[in-house]
Amino acid sequence: MSERRPRPGWLVLGCAILTAGLTGPGQTIGVSVFIDHFVDDLSLTRSQVSAAYLVGTLAGASMLPTVGKLIDRYGVRIAQVVIGGLFGVALVNMSFVNGLVWLAIGFGGIRFLGQGSLSLVSTVTVQVRFDRTRGLAIGIFTTATAGLMAMVPVLLSFVIAAWGWRSAWVVSAVVIVGTVVPIAWFGLRDLPRGRAEVQGRSTAAGGLDRSAAIRTSSFWMLVAVTGAAGMMSTALNFHQIDLLGDAGLSETAAAALFIPQVLGSSVAGLTIGYVGDRVGTRYLPAVSMGLLLAAQLLAAIAAPGVVAVLYAVVLGAAGGSVRTAATTLQPKWFGLGHLGSIQGALTLFGVGASAIGPVVLTLAEEATGSYPPALVVLGLVPLGALLFALGPNQGPRDAATPA
């Protein structure tokens, strides 16, 4: 019997992109369209909803390292089938929430399974499938995923308008389970089934396990970079309408700036991926932090017109570049054998940082009296990560020898 030919790379990449895009209902950008309905129908304040979101996000993030270990053990195919099914259950649960505690539990479920676990497994899929062109593949992955994600709130808004917000959660569950599970079962069947097969197929499969990786400064540099990006990008997006409203933009104009943000993310993701494959990845994390710092300073001087658009483009570029750079560097520095476990630990810190970002910006704005000085002060976050990324100990040598 002839051996079954492996799935083409472009097909696996397409499966990963669609899977990552379908995490949308568990992402901030998807949840945002439900916030007003929670406030109105559940008789909650915005502060209560925000607190429930924070608690749910942090609780969900705490379990991601364990998910990463299971992905390493059983492979991305089985992991995606299980996670996709459980994510559907969590989405249906959101249609029944009737109070603050249930809402926090619901947020924990969709943040853990959608924004965390399903995103994690789709990212590891690309990392495992590609080698020589990994940077470009990850650039395409992050770019296309951002484009799909931008459509999620629009589509959810249509469903809510037609059938109500509770039904929208059920529709999301049906679409996701009906797509993600078949994608995994049929589209990922030729990928390595767990760590043993990864090590058998790839010369890059060795490297460090999670306990060894976290003793390297390279790991903590990636934590600093992805954490800074998650914290500040989420904070800026969460408060974008209010922040840009203070700068003189209408609510419609402020919301429309998510479009150039996606454009910036797309261009930067592809560029960083291409450069990483051909020139090297050493300074790419520092570049992404420079872009994030520039975006915050532009937000501090935002005004209707060119400056506001430039802010959105640069913020998108910062997000696209840091995702591509960090995802490309992990297999280069740590190998593939324990990639899910290491990626899960990094995701834990990134999600945790994104959860506290909006709160930190709110507190800084209240302490300084307005957004501009708050953003300047918080510029220390990407600046600190940038300096860390330029340190002398980052790279394969450091990753191979724990500090």
347-365 pLDDT, tens digit per residue, is: 788 878 887 888 888 889 8
Q: Is the pLDDT of residue 202 over 70?
A: no
Tell whether 109 and 219 lie within a shared domain: no
Q: Is the pLDDT of residue 109 over 90?
A: yes
Tell whether 152 and 10 lie within a shared domain: yes
Burial 200-217 (b: 16+ CB within 10 A, else e): eebebbebbbbebbeebb
Is the Cβ–Cβ distance between 336 and 204 less than 8 Å? yes
Which residues lie below 8 Å from residue 316, measured CB to CB, with a gap of 6+?
A: 146, 260, 261, 262, 263, 264, 265, 266, 268
Tell whether 385 and 332 lie within a shared domain: yes
Give the residue numbers spanning the domain of 265: 206-403
Tell whether 330 and 294 lie within a shared domain: yes
- Provide the pLDDT for residue 199: 45
CA–CA dist 318, 326 (Å, integer): 12
The share of the chain scoring above pLDDT 70, in percent, equals 89
Tell whether 109 and 230 lie within a shared domain: no
Mean pLDDT of the chain: 83
Pick the range with the lowest mean pLDDT from 34-38, 328-332, 381-385, 398-402: 398-402
- Provide the pLDDT for residue 386: 95
Tell whether 310 and 166 lie within a shared domain: no
Joined tokens for residue 180: 């993600």
Which range, 185-199, 246-260, 366-380, has the best average confidence (pLDDT)?
366-380
Is the Cβ–Cβ distance between 371 and 240 less than 8 Å? no
User: pLDDT tens for residues 260-303?
Assistant: 888 888 888 778 777 766 655 678 889 999 999 999 999 999 88
Alpha carbon of residue 172 to chain centroid: 19
Q: Write the DSSP symbol of residue 192.
A: -
Tell whether 118 and 181 lie within a shared domain: yes
Closest to 240 measured CA to CA, from 316, 145, 184, 170: 316
Tell whether 163 and 24 lie within a shared domain: yes
CA–CA dist 258, 26 (Å, integer): 18
Q: Is 158 exposed, middle or buried (0-12, 13-18, 19+ CB in 10 A)?
A: exposed
Of 171, 197, 223, which residue constitutes the final position of a domain? 197
Tell whether 162 and 303 lie within a shared domain: no
Which residues lie below 8 Å from residue 91, measured CB to CB, with a gap of 6+?
A: 25, 26, 110, 114, 169, 170, 172, 173, 176
Q: Is the pLDDT of residue 126 over 70?
A: yes
Q: What is the pTM of this model?
A: 0.74
Which residue's structure tokens are 């995606």?
Answer: 80
Of 197, 228, 257, which residue constitutes the final position of a domain? 197
Of 162, 197, 232, which residue constitutes the final position of a domain? 197
CA–CA dist 169, 33 (Å, integer): 12
Q: Is the pLDDT of residue 105 over 70?
A: yes
Tell whether 31 and 108 lie within a shared domain: yes
242 or 87: whose pLDDT is higher? 87
The CATH number of the domain holding residue 215 is 1.20.1250.20
Closest to 299 measured CA to CA, from 194, 378, 222, 399: 378
- Provide the pLDDT for residue 280: 59
- Provide the pLDDT for residue 184: 87
Tell whether 186 and 228 lie within a shared domain: no
Tell whether 186 and 242 lie within a shared domain: no
Is the Cβ–Cβ distance between 114 and 59 less than 8 Å? no
SS3 label, residue 73: helix
**Mean predicted confidence (pLDDT) in 365-383:** 93
Number of domains within the chain:
2
Phi, psi at 274, each rounded to 5°: -65, -50
